Structure 1
Amino acid sequence: MPDWLLYTGNRRTHDGIDRLPPPPPWRAFDGGPVLPSPEGGSGNTHHATTYRPSDDAVQQVNAALYLRRPLLVTGPPGTGKSTLAYAVAHELGLGPVLHWPITSRTTLRDGLYQYDPLTRLYAAGREDAPSDEDIGRYIRLGPLGTALLPYRRPRVLLVDEIDKSDIDLPNDLLTIFEKGEYEVPELSRRAAPSAEVMTADGPSSSPHPP
């Protein structure tokens, strides 16, 4: 087994991801503070520990890791396309897979975040409502928005059924992947330098824009 491989496909969890070198200059992004990696398994231990990737799949996963690039996996139904994501997360200890199922109505914002203005309006009308209530409690980052946070270890984002998307979504995704950042306008209007919001995993304190 070549020494440069981080993901080997052997289905045993290890800390090989810590050998991942710094990204190429064109894939280095600012951001912080660094967040601790979430604990827990991939979310589908059975599939992750029984999946046997091909040698080509192992090579391609490692190339994507080193280059900090997304990996497009294609093939007929039932060939393990989605399972590969869980296998990588399990072996490299990257925490739960962030699953984003795509339909023809899915937009980029669906993956980035959701804002609940109605609940905020209702809360503001209560007599005991604080005058300085943080808007962050009404914002929840989606799988894509969560994956782009500055975790100590990279997260695995499974964009499922991308072929069913609207024609604009793939290009919008590529733009986000190239920029490595996004803006939450509801937070950008605040004077505070940080906000605590809900992520796809749970609460998280992060700078804005993420």
Structure 2
Amino acid sequence: MNDWKIFHGNREPHDEISTLPDAPSWRQFKLQKDINQKVLKARWQKILNLVREDSREYQRGKNFRVLSLPQDSEPGKQGKIYQEYQELIDGVNAAIYLRRPLLVTGRPGSGKTSLAYAIAYELQLGPVLAWSITTRTILHHGLYNYDAIARLQHLQLLKLKQEIGQGAPQQLEENIGQYLQLGPVGTAFLPSYRPRVLLIDEIDKSDINLPNDLLNLFEEGGYSIPELERLKTQAAIVRTADVGVATKIVGGRVQCYQFPLVVMT
């Protein structure tokens, strides 16, 4: 039976992701009653517009086909190749339904990373949020970046202006969002109208602690930003990994609504 499958690997863009059933009870995070659907839809449209502007990413997803059998393959091998492709398709769909990450292994150049772009293309899930791993990478690098030096310089400038009578007293905390930018992982776990595709590339190069840190993130479906948790004000507007798309974070806590489709290679 193929009617349960949402991702097929060889189709043009479609909206079958809208038929995805609710997540299992143990994989539900932010509830629908806590979500402003109008805000999510407006932000989602901005994200989709980025795909149309990025022709390279669009073509990368369009040109990769999971079920493209080699023309020069021997007839006896085609059945085995087809079976392996079907297992890959089943794995992707299982990850979508169960809201679990997908680990893809294979030889270099076999298309592991391209799979993420093919999924985003076919299911119309916006730009792929790609995070490349090195031996020095820690989870914080993928969640967000905080420019403490720029904030300190701004604070010193405000104090100087106040001392010479050129500025009124201000609360720097109100503008702290301008010193924060979410990384690809942090952006993927924002509340979203549709699940995002998060590509974690070369996970095998990671430090020994990174898999455990990722496991906690995947189980909790969210993360905290201490710099925002300490604010007196309850909300901050911060930049995301999506160019030109900002988001509001309340109380320094980010919790996903649609668990992202995480592809680890």
Task: Compute the TM-score of the two structures, normalised by the length of structure 1.
Answer: 0.93
Structure 2: give runs of 5+ residues left out of the alignment: 67-84, 162-166, 255-265
Q: Which has the higher mean CA deviation after the structures are superposed, 133-142 or 85-94?
A: 133-142
CA spacing shift, 1:109–1:55, aligned 2, 3 Å: same
Aligned match of 2:137: 106
**Residue by residue, what CA displacement relative to the aligned partner does 1:59-94 show, whole Å, maximum 9, x if unpaired?**
111100000000001111000000000000011111
Aligned match of 1:4: 4
1:55 positional shift: 1.7
Equivalences for 1:1-210 in 2 at 5 Å?
2-30=2-30, 32-33=35-36, 35=40, 36-37=43-44, 38-39=47-48, 40-41=50-51, 44-53=57-66, 54-126=85-157, 127=161, 128=167, 131-133=170-172, 134-201=175-242, 202-207=245-250, 208-210=252-254
Q: Which has the larger radius of gyration?
A: 2
CA spacing shift, 1:65–1:118, aligned 2, 3 Å: same
Contact 1:97 1:156 in 2 (8 A): yes
The CA distance in 2 between the partners of 1:86 and 1:96, in whole Å, is 8
The CA distance in 1 between the partners of 2:145 and 2:213, in whole Å, is 17
Structure 1: give runs of 5+ residues left out of the alignment: none
CA spacing shift, 1:130–1:74, aligned 2, 3 Å: farther
Contact 1:11 1:49 in 2 (8 A): no
Task: Compute the TM-score of the two structures, normalised by the length of structure 2.
Answer: 0.75
Divergent runs of 4+, >6 A: none
CA spacing shift, 1:111–1:129, aligned 2, 3 Å: farther
1:33 positional shift: 4.3
The CA distance in 1 between the partners of 2:197 and 2:229, in whole Å, is 27
1:57 positional shift: 1.6
- The CA RMSD measured in Å over matched residues stands at 1.8
Q: Which has the higher mean CA deviation after the structures are superposed, 56-65 or 37-46?
A: 37-46
CA spacing shift, 1:106–1:65, aligned 2, 3 Å: same
The CA distance in 2 between the partners of 1:67 and 1:19, in whole Å, is 14
Q: Which has the higher helix share?
A: 2
The CA distance in 2 between the partners of 1:76 and 1:60, in whole Å, is 18
CA spacing shift, 1:14–1:83, aligned 2, 3 Å: same
Kindly provide the amino acid, as one letter, of the partner of residue 206 in structure 1. I
1:203 positional shift: 1.5
The CA distance in 2 between the partners of 1:151 and 1:117, in whole Å, is 28
Q: How many residues align?
A: 210
The CA distance in 1 between the partners of 2:156 and 2:193, in whole Å, is 40
